[in-house]
Chain A
Amino acid sequence: MTLSRRRFLQRSALATSTLIAAPAVFRSGALAAENPITVGSLHDQSGPIGTSGTPMVYALQLAVDEINAGGGLLGRPLKVIHYDTQSNIQLYSQYAQQLAVKDKVDVVHGGITSASREAIRPTFDRFKVLYFYNTLYEGGVCDRNTFCTGTTPAQTVEKLVPSAMKKAGKKAYIIAADYNYGQITAKWMTKYCKDNGGEILSTDFFPLDVTNFGSTISKIQAAKPDLILSALVGGNHTAFYRQWTAAGMKGKIPIASTTFGLVNEPSTLDAAESDAIIGAYGYFEELTTPASKSFVEKIKKAHPDSPYISELASCTYEGVMLWAEGVKKAGSIDRMKVIEALESGLVFDGPSGKVSLDKQTHHTVRNAFLAEVKDRKWSVLETYTDAKPADTASVCDLVKNPNDVKQYIINL
């Protein structure tokens, strides 16, 4: 086909005007769809952390569906914009930019590992997008734009160590994964052990690809502790529990762990290997309160093959609900107004019980639970109400320093 110059110009003009007009046409179309409030979601549904992220997405979707069923917020429906970050930090940065700049979402819930949180938090600070981090972590984030709804060591390790010591004895042996989580958690274990008059015989760290724990098991036997405190992480490290049982050590020295059972270890390991291990988290699927039962039931009904519904899922649900309460109270989705409403001591009754936001740290005051594995399930032993994020509170005061945006390393 030959193009005359005149025809070329005509067509170019037509094409250009179409392009210019297009956004206006699309935008008016969007307005017709009731202009939803957008909730960004960044969770890993695949890759090594996928099993942790999947129930979080289910919980987020459940919370949004429930809000929508109740008429939405401020008369507008909620719409989730979700990206699967595939356990890849680079994708976290990329999708965070996309949520902030392209999708222009009103709030973001997400991030699982501490590394992923630190990759995206600055982006949301820069583009002024409200951010909720709903995972248990080592504590210390101090940022007025960020709310951390998961537990910190002061809320769980503080309960776990003394109750395990009460059961077992005062001499403890720490085994932990060799990266920031394990290192920091081991410090907290040491602190709470000493605070309760105990003694740490030794602390061993393991690179994540260690698979043979034979010499460690011998070393532990030689040290003769009353109690083992474990912050081992990942698939390779579960070999420890297997080899421990194979050596016939199971039941001779009790184990308490801050990581065991957060995903699905009790249901996949053999009962002989996991029985009597003690753990403490902000939520257990086995909690029998009506709120917890209906929460688990709803997720299982929508997703029968859902992995274990842990603190990760309940905190995500409660995080979304707290944010919704904030929006309702503020009567607006303006970021500053919502933050101020959230800082006014909002309370939400969730699956784990009463959760309230702490103005000073932007963390939550929530219940903590102590449980023991029994026949491949957690059996909840004790409930500690209103556990405070005392660790973060010791370094972070957003009332005094509202412009803080850093994660403090808490010195012990």
Chain B
Amino acid sequence: MAIYVILALDVLNGISSLFLLCLGLAIIFGMMKIINLAHGEFIMLGAYATVISANAGVNIWIAMLIVAPLFVGIVGLVIERCLIRFLYGRLVDSMLATWGLSLLIIGIITTIYGNTQQGVPTPLGGFSIGSYQSSYYTLFLALMAAVMMAIIYGVMRYTRFGLVARATMQNPAMAATLGVNPARVYMSTFALGAAVTGLAGGLLAPVSGITPVMGGAYVAKAFMTVVGGGAAILSGTLSAASLFGSVNQIGAYFTTPVYGEVIVFTTAIVLIRLLPQGISGRFFKGNL
């Protein structure tokens, strides 16, 4: 019995970490149609910001929840001003530019901190269910995923910024006619996406191997999830993250980790074949 509880926790862990990893990408890609291939490097920057500040004596919770999103948000802002703003509507060019950007970020971090592991200890401890052990951190990640979902929903649905942002994404010309400055909206939306990604990096820092090239392990799954989720940022990303996260964990548990990966990617291919517009293109039309 206890093993099923543990397995359920694993599934929850898979879903919440995937959701956190994808949310920032969903904002940048889903809303702005910028294919940000440097997404993995934003995660890496968030993790580094957490590790470096925590090891410098900053409280680990502040390092994760404040330093990481703030730092990556500012980096995102600078990148948007210097690079991304020239690329709106140029899908292929934006891919090339952000890929180059990802190599640049990896190079800079390697030059500064070296090509080695970094790390912070995991806060919170473990608890036992029957004879099995799990970690409170798993529950904390799930909680953070829920909180982030609520915050993004609240901002997009109930604030003036959310309304303006959604309007600008739908029809920038019309929004401009009504007195909105689309350039400013794009800028803040990109920075928001980057900050959310940085937060994900910070939250995963205590349970990941942190190297300058760690982003590569996340970027493919993040894109798969966002594309599989479709246009709706929250409902789409959540449903796709739930699908892929649980398939991966359950697959890896009952077969081997190798097949766990194979099953996820097969699921993604089938999903895109059946629902080319993603899950939310069919089931949650018009939702956020």
Q: Are A and B co-members of a single complex?
A: yes
Contacts of B252 in A (CB 8 A): 215-216
The answer to whether B218 touches A210, judged by C-beta atoms less than 8 angstroms apart, is: no
The segment out of A127-135, A235-243, A319-327, A403-411 that lies at the interface is A235-243
In contact, B116 and A215 (Cβ under 8 angstroms): no
CA–CA, A184 and B119, complex, Å: 29
A243 touches B135 (CB 8 A): yes
Q: Cα distance A248–B261 when bound, in Å?
A: 26
Once the chains are docked, how many angstroms separate the CA of A236 from the CA of B216? 10
Is A211 a contact of B217 with CB atoms below 8 Å? yes
B229 at the interface (CB under 8 A from A): no
Q: Which one of B9, B126, B249, B258 lies within 8 Å of A249 (CB-CB)? A: B126
A215 touching B7 in the complex, CB below 8 Å, given contacts A206-B257, A235-B210, A236-B214: yes
Known A51-B114, A211-B214, A242-B208; further 18 A-B contacts with Cβ < 8 A: A51-B115, A178-B258, A205-B258, A210-B217, A210-B261, A215-B10, A215-B14, A222-B132, A235-B209, A236-B217, A239-B207, A242-B122, A242-B206, A247-B133, A248-B125, A249-B133, A263-B116, A270-B120
B residues less than 8 Å from A10 (CB atoms): none
In the assembly, what is the distance between CA of A381 and CA of B248, in Å?
40
Q: Are B208 and A239 in contact (CB under 8 A)?
A: yes
Residue from the list A48, A219, A247, A268 in contact with B135, Cβ < 8 A: A247
Bound Cα distance from A154 to B117, whole angstroms: 29
Q: Which residues of B contact A246 (CB under 8 A)?
A: 122, 124, 126, 135, 137-138, 206-207
A214 touches B115 (CB 8 A): no
A interface residue count range (under 10 / 10 to 19 / 20 to 34 / 35 or more): 35 or more
Q: Which residue of A lies closest to B10 (CB)?
A: A214
Of B6, B138, B214, which is within 8 A of A235 by CB?
A: B214
B13 touches A212 (CB 8 A): yes
Contact of B253 among A211, A215, A252, A307 (CB under 8 A): A215
Contacts of B100 in A (CB 8 A): none
Q: Quick one: given A245-B122, A248-B127, are A207 and B261 in contact (CB under 8 Å)?
A: yes
The 10 residue pairs across chains A and B that have the minimum distance between CB atoms? A248-B126, A235-B211, A238-B209, A270-B121, A246-B122, A268-B117, A246-B135, A209-B217, A215-B253, A214-B10
Q: Which residues of B contact A268 (CB under 8 A)?
A: 116-119
Interface size on B, residues (CB 8 A): 51
Q: Is the CB of B117 within 8 A of A221?
A: no
C-alpha spacing A206/B217, complex, angstroms:
13
* CB pairs A–B below 8 angstroms (29 shown): A46-B115, A51-B114, A214-B14, A215-B7, A215-B249, A215-B253, A215-B257, A218-B253, A221-B131, A235-B209, A235-B213, A237-B209, A238-B119, A238-B209, A242-B209, A243-B135, A243-B207, A246-B135, A246-B137, A246-B138, A246-B206, A247-B126, A248-B126, A263-B117, A268-B116, A268-B119, A270-B121, A272-B121, A273-B121
